[in-house]
Structure 1
């Protein structure tokens, strides 16, 4: 919005405004122009770069696309493929598009001037595709053999349009060609500030460019955050899942509630022809059946890893606790086996039959794919036991418990080469699970009446912030599916990097936006809600308690003291 207003202010005194094209009027969904060639094939990219270098060496001044394709190394290649890719990869620079439309509405004459080997007809097609269908004309160096940087293309523009230099404002992003070049022709210019996109190679550079090109069109701060931070992760994970599904063509994909709810929506956007299922199962919902089957070890693995009373454990399992054990405390994190006598004393819950009936209706088959956010593979292990089948697990991440429970051929892990996730990931994992989960309460169990089975969920009010964040994630997936990049596989490290940046180096605005969210972790805890610094100066113990309760401790520290400090490194030292 500020960029649009600045352009309108700068252009106000001039009857004619001219623009540079690339990185001014339009952008590409790649970080470097040569990446467009790479998307068309490695062999073509090598030949195409060589051909342009040879063409420029053989001629002074601008070369044409025809001259580039006349080089022997490009024999057999059709320039139409490159031209089609240029159109497909072009997107509008949204603030500039908005300004140009406003200038056109004001009656100003509008032109574009570009140093480019592509012909004018190609640039016209790209500009029209991006919404610039109202220009009065354009001047391209390839058509005239002179360039902007020499000032000659600007002089030719003044001559052809019969315009005096003082009547023109030129807007471009390049100091040498746009600012200095126009000055050589006596034309006033304004340098367009541009957001720096990392000039990384494919595919990381393309993801960064794709994201940056679309963020100006998203007004909601929460939606922008979802788009940029979790959109790439969701798309990359679903691409990986699709590849796994192709390796198991007879398997059905079951997305596990609640943390895989959004991933299923993204998967449906990317692969609408495929049928998937949503399995409303939690460790808690399986406990009544495990208790009825006397699966003590599995039941201990299903219980929350924290200190609970006998009454709380019984309630978790859907039954009542003997009176003499109700107040006894059990440390399920450090000594879970101490609860084994309690479990053996609990009565079989009536809801066990409803659990079995629900699982039967889901028609889980051997070899089906179970999609989970993951850590230790507990839910897969429990489902395999109670259903007496082997599933193929697909987890986003894992910890060091996974391989002690499931073989590598039983469970695949997307992130970190299948190894246990690093400390920084776990520092934000509760937040990640909350941000991508269905915005409903936990799955508690099931009730069965005649032929109807109802899933019981904990009460939870809707959270508008989550809705906005998830809209951003879905928007990324929709835009990616429509883009030239749709077949480009996003690698795991590229996908998770924006989220790890959010976790370890959040801005003050991000901690303010997300900090008040709560997460479930055997209870309900805030992500990052510190009190005022002055309060902690006189209540040091409360500071320790609040930090302990926070499930995003780096965010807690940043929100408490919004300074440019390496909070991720401070957190790592605290953990040690």
Structure 2
């Protein structure tokens, strides 16, 4: 029986019967039918995209996740908002009721309004007008009702702007709703209207909470994208050009890229001031297209998206109401993409219904390490030099448009650059240089997007014909070289728009491929990343599609990565290109895989492994600091750098790797010191002792305090003497905050002779060690210590011991470092922060300094002091590592491996793509801040497992 049922033809007939039953059922029962069929007859649906995703959710329900994330995008849980008691101002609702049979449904929702409101209704004909007046006229708290017949033009948007715009603009708060049916998709989004209305008008209590948001300054409130709507809807789709034109008209400089927040379905609440620019833009009914059943690409669809753009442009926050019935971490429903598996994708490309698989190339099979690939042209300009590069950037885009317009077809790079030469008045040699550079940069930038390269291989193994298609100006020969270099082989044909003259984004290239390959649209599967040209256009032609989510868009959806993406994309700093690349490497490494089995959206980069922590946080910080250090030391004339233990061990490793590709860097060595090892030898009297005593400590025992700070261990008689004289109470703990040591002064005075003897014993061996490593030997060769920071304690003690001349470079310094610089006439400067407020009032990096120390610390024990060994040599005396510290080594090795992988990737960029590439300090710092300020539980577990000692401050081992 099973063999019979798995027969392909019979399976198809059963599926068709199932679909017929599905569409005849009430909406509320359809999901139950699907669940029943999938549970008990799954073999009939194997290979179907929807079934494979359903099966994946059941076998791995944690992927993607629906749990609420702290601070995730603009998602708001209304249950956490206190309801508003009193009306915050004048309220109006616009309802476009194209289907008058839905008027009663609307009235039931509007019945929940808690405050007085005016209702403006647009309808398509007089009968509907009469029905709406009758139904809505009985609503409670209705202060005014106006129902107008409007032309069937501009959907629900035109009536709101053209018919009632002047009326609505007189109110403080506006809601916009309409009788949405989406008949074109045969019920695929059934329940959408009910979902949107329920989210915005579901109950009086819900409305009071929405008004609380609006009253407290929120600019716009709308529901999270409906769960049945494909996530690709949260982009411009066919409306980019209209959107760009209207953004310019409305004075909006930054047009969103990729995915962005707007009320998908165009139902919302808003403060009127947010929409005022649109009300005052002079929009006319004639601006809207005649209604011909369009599903996208009209001015109404563009304005639907502009609503969200305007809300952001207003500077007021947007509140997206979290869907509690179909919860998702992503406002755009990216779980639809993240939940996919390689097995699901293989089933799609191997389907018996598919004869031809078409792969897009860029951002699908090949990727670049930039957030915005167009910035590759800035790389070309940098490599071309200031004069030629500025000409190139000035004319490159216009040259491409002019060349295409003149040819009446798509064109290649030679035509574009020839046109650029004419526009800019360049010589043939300059044009040839630009062509060479652009081709070199494109080749150097690409790497394989491995999951989709493997998917292409899967399609080939399944016996499918596989072709590649790209809207691209590069010549075929170069594309073939790029593909071969990245291991993309075996495909049967390559269609390049500049070669055949037509493009995917017009649809003409698809028509060309269908004709050339002699296939029908439904026999084709298109695999690509562009929501318009690789998804919407082929789908409208009846092709099957497998959309590929770009890594930068997934990053844009992650709550802690999104602000960094936006900052990098909008940066106008001189090093904006470097920042884009620095962040792009991280995005490419962790978010470009097509199938993310362990994805955790709460984490900075979607996962919490120690290696990810090293790559995304420690690596950028270390390299950025080292690059700053090298440039600063060269500028200051410092020729010798001493990296202080223990964090300096890893920083020195990074410095040496950087020195291998950079020129003229100072010499560098490792200096095994600690506060304890230099503080005690530098003590010459009570003032020195008090300076050491005042720093943060405890609570811990007095015995530990004296040992850790001063190297003194009292005998039983000495302890008894302290107690007998009333200098200290037995069992009392030492705790020092805000330099308060008054209670300790008698004890310190009593032990001063012991401390001075210990200082004398330690001073000689330490000085000998310092001479052996070259410190203080040659005052003509400026030297500096290098460390994380913060107050320059070790630097100060070295200057005391050596008589000055020791500079200091740090990741960060607090204001206490300025005293060191002034006292000894040396430099004590910080990279990420310089002379900042100390903790707890200081910046995040200083407040969370112990996390930084955990990331950069070595496996070595802390040096306590130096002593003369029996052979007369100076030897360090180390603290013994505890078992918990030893157990941390494997974890720390993973963090370090991740960090060094980032360093290597960045240096490859410097060597092959962008000479002089540097990781901007502000980008590295923002990565650290984004990590520590809202750590996910999984990330915190990794950090806590990195055990580090802090005996000097009386905290013992710190997890």
Q: TM-score range by the shorter chain?
A: 0.7 to 0.9
Q: Does 1:438 align with 2:813?
A: no
Match of 2:696 in 1: 305
Q: 1:444 to 1:55 in 2, by over 3 A?
A: same
Pairing partner for 2:880 from 459, 467, 475: 459
Q: Is the 8 A contact 1:290 1:296 kept in 2?
A: no
Q: Is the 8 A contact 1:514 1:527 kept in 2?
A: no
Distance 1:376 1:287 in 2: 14
Q: Is the 8 A contact 1:65 1:119 kept in 2?
A: yes
Q: 1:341 to 1:57 in 2, by over 3 A?
A: farther
Match of 2:654 in 1: 266
Deviations for 1:209-258, whole angstroms, at most 9, x for unmatched residues?
22111125799821012111222111111111111232255611111101
Pairing partner for 1:507 from 925, 932, 936: 936
Pairing partner for 2:809 from 385, 394, 403: 394
Match of 1:25 in 2: 365
The offset of 1:490, in angstroms, is 1.9
Match of 1:540 in 2: none
The offset of 1:383, in angstroms, is 1.0
Match of 1:282 in 2: 674
Q: Is the 8 A contact 1:310 1:342 kept in 2?
A: no
Q: Is the 8 A contact 2:356 2:524 kept in 1?
A: yes
SS at match of 2:495: strand
Q: Does 1:416 align with 2:833?
A: yes
Pairing partner for 2:580 from 205, 229, 240: 205
Match of 1:12 in 2: 350
Distance 2:875 2:466 in 1: 63
Q: Is the 8 A contact 1:30 1:206 kept in 2?
A: yes
Q: Is the 8 A contact 1:517 1:526 kept in 2?
A: no
Q: 1:183 to 1:60 in 2, by over 3 A?
A: farther
Distance 2:624 2:460 in 1: 40
Between 70-79 and 437-446, the greater mean CA deviation after superposition: 70-79
Q: Does 1:355 align with 2:770?
A: no
SS at match of 1:414: strand
Q: 1:184 to 1:430 in 2, by over 3 A?
A: same
Q: Which has the larger radius of gyration?
A: 2
Superposed counterparts of 1:34-183, under 5 Å: 34-39=374-379, 40-41=381-382, 43=390, 44-71=392-419, 72-74=422-424, 75=426, 76-77=430-431, 78=433, 79-183=435-539
Paired residue total: 526
Q: Does 1:491 align with 2:920?
A: yes
The offset of 1:474, in angstroms, is 0.7
Deviations for 1:274-296, whole angstroms, at most 9, x for unmatched residues?
642010101101234223xx154
SS at match of 1:70: helix
Q: 1:287 to 1:102 in 2, by over 3 A?
A: same
Distance 1:101 1:453 in 2: 63
Q: Is the 8 A contact 2:817 2:835 kept in 1?
A: no
Q: Any stretches of 5+ residues in structure 1 without a counterpart?
A: 529-576
Q: 1:342 to 1:95 in 2, by over 3 A?
A: farther
Between 77-86 and 157-166, the greater mean CA deviation after superposition: 157-166
Between 143-152 and 321-330, the greater mean CA deviation after superposition: 321-330
Q: Is the 8 A contact 2:812 2:834 kept in 1?
A: no
Normalized against structure 2, the TM-score is what?
0.51
Q: Any stretches of 5+ residues in structure 2 without a counterpart?
A: 1-337, 383-388, 556-564, 572-576, 599-607
Q: Does 1:474 align with 2:900?
A: yes
Match of 1:376 in 2: 791
Distance 1:162 1:345 in 2: 98
Q: 1:428 to 1:88 in 2, by over 3 A?
A: same
Between 42-51 and 188-197, the greater mean CA deviation after superposition: 42-51
Distance 1:94 1:488 in 2: 26
Distance 1:112 1:488 in 2: 33
SS at match of 2:525: strand
The offset of 1:342, in angstroms, is 4.3
Q: Is the 8 A contact 2:640 2:668 kept in 1?
A: yes
Q: 1:101 to 1:254 in 2, by over 3 A?
A: farther
Q: Does 1:335 align with 2:761?
A: no
Q: Is the 8 A contact 2:366 2:486 kept in 1?
A: yes
Distance 1:516 1:250 in 2: 38
Q: Is the 8 A contact 2:643 2:649 kept in 1?
A: yes
Question: Greater relative contact order: 1 or 2 (C-alpha under 8 angstroms, separation 6 or more)?
Answer: 1
Pairing partner for 1:224 from 608, 612, 618: 612
Q: Is the 8 A contact 2:371 2:580 kept in 1?
A: yes
Q: Is the 8 A contact 1:91 1:130 kept in 2?
A: yes
The offset of 1:451, in angstroms, is 4.6
Distance 2:648 2:619 in 1: 14
The offset of 1:64, in angstroms, is 1.8
Between 508-517 and 326-335, the greater mean CA deviation after superposition: 326-335
Distance 2:493 2:532 in 1: 23
Q: Is the 8 A contact 1:255 1:277 kept in 2?
A: yes
Distance 1:418 1:27 in 2: 41
Deviations for 1:349-400, whole angstroms, at most 9, x for unmatched residues?
3333222221121111442121110011111111111122312211101222
Between 70-79 and 501-510, the greater mean CA deviation after superposition: 70-79
Match of 2:227 in 1: none
CA RMSD of aligned residues (A): 2.9
Q: 1:343 to 1:93 in 2, by over 3 A?
A: farther
Deviations for 1:296-328, whole angstroms, at most 9, x for unmatched residues?
444444455225665434423334444434883
Match of 1:364 in 2: 775
Q: Is the 8 A contact 2:644 2:671 kept in 1?
A: yes
Distance 1:470 1:527 in 2: 19
Q: 1:516 to 1:83 in 2, by over 3 A?
A: same
The offset of 1:154, in angstroms, is 1.9
Between 86-95 and 420-429, the greater mean CA deviation after superposition: 420-429
Normalized against structure 1, the TM-score is what?
0.83
